[in-house]
Amino acid sequence: MPVPIIAANWKMTTTIKEAKALAGSIRSRLEKLKGIQILVFPPFPAIESVLSILSKSRIAIGAQNMYFSDRGPYTGEVSPEMVVELCKYVILGHSERRLLLNESDQEVALKIQAASKYKIKPILCIGETFQQKESDQAKQVIERQLYAGTEYLENPTDLMVAYEPIWAIGTGVAATPEEAQLNMEYIRACLEKRYGAESGRKIPLLYGGSVTKENVSRFIYQKDIDGTLIGQASVNPDSFVNIVTQAAKLV
Ligand code: PEP
């Protein structure tokens, strides 16, 4: 089994001081753990401080978003050129941005293209709403988001895709591992169609949505699930350390 990836999306939930404390706690408790790849995504203002706390550790850092233009009059935005000075990963197209901030498939596509230009590894987030799932449209929605988001991405070497059903995010109601596997097998098939079997097979797929220490192993055990993206449980050091420890036992 390949080394599972555990990505922590801290969202807009930590001040710089809290992010530093969280990073310090995670580092001291997970430093010696092998057989796992850990990525943390602090809020922008905390990235530099977290970087210094995690420097020379095996925990990598990323940004939760970025704009697609190199630079210019875009007040409040952060460009790929600025992100890459700090870190090598970025979450793009998270459902909270799509739903609350009206981020479109086209914007996500341009951001994925910009990430590729700057050699930043993107996690492209896709997933259906509860209504779409109930009306049997989940596959249609994730296929559309996947192809739209990768429209300008020629080479998928650095791409990761997170399947995050919106109804499972922050609700405490995770998809069943079998249900997630069915949709992620479909994502894999779409990626193989888009990039060829060999390249498509290598793209890491993460499941996100109410992952806990109790269910993480059952997700990672699935054939097309290479890791998880964790929100709420990632900002509590005990929950996060427990999840990571469980996942590392599978290797
Ligand atoms: C997320 O927002 O990406 C997420 C997976 O959240 P949670 O783990 O809280 O469901």
The CATH number given to whatever domain includes residue 38 is 3.20.20.70
Tokens of 235: 């900002």
| pLDDT for 1 | 73
Number of folded domains in the chain? 1
Quick one: pLDDT at residue 238? 97
What integer pLDDT is reported at residue 25 of this predicted model? 98
Going by C-alpha positions, the residue among 140, 211, 141 that lies closest to residue 176 is 211
Nearest atom of ligand 1 to the alpha carbon of 232: 9
Query: Tokens for 168?
Result: 């499972």
Q: Is the pLDDT of residue 219 over 80?
A: yes
Cβ(175) – ligand 1 distance below 6 Å? no
Ligand 1: distance of its center to the CA of 127 in Å?
12
Told to judge if 164 belongs to the known catalytic residues of this protein, a careful annotator would answer: yes
Query: Which amino acid is located at 134 in the chain?
Result: E
**What percent of the chain is modeled with pLDDT above 70?**
100
What letter represents residue 184's amino acid?
A: M
Euclidean distance between CA atoms 226 and 201, whole angstroms: 11
Ligand 1 atom 1, closest CA: 231
Question: At 180, is the pLDDT very low, low, confident or very high (cuts 50, 70, 90)?
Answer: very high
- The pLDDT-based confidence of 243 (bands split at 50, 70, 90) is very high
Q: Where are the alpha helices (DSSP H) in 105-160?
A: 105-117, 130-134, 138-149
Answer yes or no: is the C-beta of 9 below 6 A from any ligand 1 atom: yes
Specify the pLDDT at position 237.
Answer: 97
What does DSSP say about strands 205-208 and 37-41: parallel, antiparallel, or unpaired?
A: unpaired
Q: Which domain holds residue 127?
A: 5-248
The confidence band for 204, taking pLDDT boundaries of 50, 70 and 90, is very high
The per-residue pLDDT for 33 is 93
Confidence of residue 250 (pLDDT cuts 50, 70, 90): confident
Residue nearest to atom 6 of ligand 1 (CA): 231
- Condensed to tens digits (0 to 9), the pLDDT of residues 103-134 reads 999 999 999 999 999 999 999 999 999 999 99
Q: Residue 238: which residues within 8 A CB-CB, separation 6 or more?
A: none
Catalytic pick from 48, 94, 96, 134? 94
| Residue 94 designated active-site | yes
Given its phi and psi angles, is residue 114 left (phi above 0), alpha (psi -120 to 50 degrees) or beta? alpha
For residue 180 and ligand 1, the question of a CB distance below 6 A is answered with no
